[in-house]
Structure 1
């Protein structure tokens, strides 16, 4: 069952990584909703990884989590004056 869950999550998480990087760099006005959606997907994929534990799925979810954390950190480092 773990292999099926890995195969099920591989496509959406890879697409979310690519689309998240593109959306973050190309659409600065839509960063907050994008980061919220990426974080919600991280929570759901983490819950699925908890229900179906495997090493491959853990590595996939952790690489996605590192990307989301990096994008959130870049967003938090933005100057406050640019928010107005």
Structure 2
């Protein structure tokens, strides 16, 4: 989430507004270690807001279908 916000130049408050979520909800989601924990409705609102803003979420071990910049955590040996 932080990487997506950085690419878009957004702070947590603006992302919360875009996703129709409260700031504490976005803060809690972003503070999750590893997998983001939230209810499905909040997660879908966030994913939709990021998608509409131009972010492509890339699943683990999935290829990107687009071109341009992206963010992925590399596998460490």
Q: Which of these two proteins has the greater Rg computed from alpha carbons?
A: 1
Normalised TM-score (structure 2): 0.27
Normalised TM-score (structure 1): 0.25
Greater share of residues in helix = 1
